[in-house]
Structure 1
């Protein structure tokens, strides 16, 4: 009987690892909505974590703790699952146990430990992290700041000290955390980091400054977006900055993005064109539906701006890559005989998008084009306004919620701060609270968030 019980506990651990990876991929999914994330991968992940917790301290000591002792950097999802089980099931000492591993963890281990703190159900975690900050430095400090960023906590004036820390990870974590700060002295010192030579630190500082409405942040965002010397591609500062301009710019700013896309199409510009919400962007996307590299992104833009149905098969030629085995390399992993065992087996984000049917999609746009005004911005065929954003945050694919939530944060000057990588249960509660606050401000005559106007390029 005992052996059967341990088999069940080992299965809970394996399933928790599997569903953690599934959950992380779903957070950027072009298919999953927030509701589907919660009732699917998240519910199953937490159920398996609870299965370990119910097993009691003996399960944590004999099965879970050895993962952190012996294989901390072996698999980040397994580390995250083990850390979460200890956090949520280890009693008062649970956080201390997990935090003790931060100084000796490598990149994968640090990721797993920090991410576990983001998903933990503990209500005492944030205050305990804050209380422990003065006693730690180096990786232990960086991990705590990164955990607090995911928890959306204002740590007070002490944050400004870490802007000058010798460890880049600490400075970057402090810059991300600054978006939650209410201290004018912290925000004032953030300004210097917007000019840092490290692009990742600069990105964190500028984005936090945009949310807080700090002077100079918009100009630096424009410079980063339109600097021809900037590196391109997913994860680059240029791509992020183009998104900032698309979110906060005026019609002329958007026209500049579209002119660049027209002259030399690339994935960064096509992504940003979709964020502008302009019907003119759809006109350009229609021309790229046959492009060998950009067709999937062009189809996504048509969905994001104009509302091309993603679940009507007539408009699409495939289902997108889902990491299953098959002969079509655009739709699945290669068959074993042609598999490169050193390759990354997770399809790139763009391959997860459905491939549009050019003929059907163009015919659909011809029918819809006159329904959209070139003077307005749209999401899924609806003019961009607070109610549209609220609806989209509940119904949009997870991948597209990220820019919508960031624009809400920027245009509301930080009132509408939604972490789109937090657990779905937290996001749904945050969304309700954000729009209740915005409704209250509007009822008091203190204005509404404008998603149609914008700033000129500087």
Structure 2
């Protein structure tokens, strides 16, 4: 065999090895993200999943220019979220010249719904100049990319220019305004005085929630008053508001959560929030809903969190599935329903 053929053979074997790293990293990334939300995954199991993921990501990042060009860069055009995450992460951690441009190009060319994997890679990569990388997106990139850049900066707790970021508090785009609030948290006193009263009563729910979070973390009493008012007085509260009442609402907050249990559309959120209260009256409120099949698991989980009682053995429901095997009539089926499993579905 000639030297040229041997080299080609070695390169082929090398690419096969890195393709295996890519496939395994994509699989373990999905498993790790699921473990972060799963109610039955413990810290040790999640750490094990992360260790396996990191091993394959590290394997890809040492592939150099050859693997970046032959394997990783083409994956930036993939429609598979896991492959897209792995490619972006490995390129950013590979210490390669010119790795920034294809990632920015991929972000800019994709519709908003296909950017989350690259955003997740930007959040998790330990990059000293993440602000410098994102600065072009804060300019004239449009509200979707501006919001993405602000969310990544907030994840890293980096504010490259407080005045520039504060200008986004006036943004018409809901996501951009909310992301700017989280990026600036805790708010400097002058920004809290000028912007918080307006944003706490904003008509956009994501902005109100972000303002509430920013206000509480900035130590303003106005934010807590707004949280209580948002769950009382007939208003429809958001999930973050209900969670805050469960965490630190005291007697008044828990009473307001219990009243929400009578509203079917808010019942699941209120039960979940009550589980964080630690109060006897909240545990007693869960008992009624543990008797209802639709809410039994969630109410039981909340009751267990409050009391410490493990709902197993004689204290647990028989987990038999419906054995009829009959599908609902097509005209009664919601064809637009989101079938993505939620964390509470594992309870």
- TM, length-normalised to structure 2: 0.81
Equivalent residues in 2 for 1:343-362 (5 A)?
A: 346-353=340-347
After TM superposition, give the deviation of residue 135 of structure 1 in Å.
Answer: 4.5
Instruction: Indicate the structure whose relative CO is greater, using CA pairs within 8 Å and at least 6 residues apart.
Output: 1
Quote the residue 1:437 is aligned against.
none
**1:205: which partner in 2?**
211
The structure 1 residue matched to 2:57, chosen from 36, 49, 54, is: 49
8 Å CA contact 2:174, 2:206 repeated in 1? no
Equivalent positions of 1:59-208 (< 5 A) are 59-68=67-76, 70-71=77-78, 74-91=79-96, 93-122=98-127, 124-129=128-133, 132=136, 135-138=139-142, 139-155=144-160, 156-181=162-187, 183-191=188-196, 192-208=198-214
Instruction: Say if 1:190 and 1:205, in contact at 8 Å, map to a contact too.
Output: no
| Distance in 2 of aligned mates of 1:261 and 1:168 | 29
1:21, CA displacement in angstroms?
Answer: 1.9
| Cα deviations by residue, 1:297-350 (Å, 9 ceiling, x for unpaired) | 11211221121236x65544578xxxxxxx9479xxx9xxxxx99875543332
Displacement of 1:88: 0.9
Structure 1 residue 270: Cα displacement? 0.9
RMSD: 3.1
Asked if 1:241 is matched to 2:271, the reply is: no
Q: What is the CA–CA distance in structure 2 between the aligned matches of 1:8 and 1:343, rounded to whole Å?
A: 40
Q: Contact 1:50–1:85 at 8 Å: present in 2 too?
A: yes
Change (3 A) 1:116 1:342: same
| Cα offsets for 1:393-445 (capped at 9, x unmatched) | xxxxxxxxxxxxxxxxxxxxxxxxxxxxxxxxxxxxxxxxxxxxxxxxxxxxx
**Higher Rg of the two aligned structures:** 2
Q: Which residue pairs with 2:330 in the alignment?
A: none
State the alpha-carbon separation in 1 of the partners of residues 207 and 138 from structure 2.
23
Native 8 Å contact 1:226 1:238 kept in 2: no
Q: Tell me if the contact between 2:137 and 2:146 (Cα under 8 Å) persists in the aligned partners.
A: yes
Note if contact 2:246-2:277 (Cα within 8 Å) is conserved in structure 1: yes
Distance 1:342 1:62, change over 3 A: farther
Kindly indicate whether the alpha-carbon contact (under 8 Å) linking 1:209 and 1:217 is maintained by their aligned counterparts in 2.
yes
Unaligned segments of structure 1, at least 5 residues: 231-236, 320-326, 335-339, 354-458
Q: CA deviation at 1:144?
A: 1.6
CA distance in 2, matches of 1:111, 1:242: 27
Q: Residues 11-53 of structure 1, C-alpha deviation per residue, up to 9 Å, x if partnerless?
A: 22222222222222222110123343122x2112222211211
Distance 1:209 1:57, change over 3 A: same
Which sections of structure 2, spanning at least 5 residues, go unmatched?
1-9, 328-333
Q: TM-score, normalization: structure 1?
A: 0.63
Residue-pair matches, total: 325
Report if aligned partners of 1:102, 1:143 keep a CA contact under 8 Å in 2: no
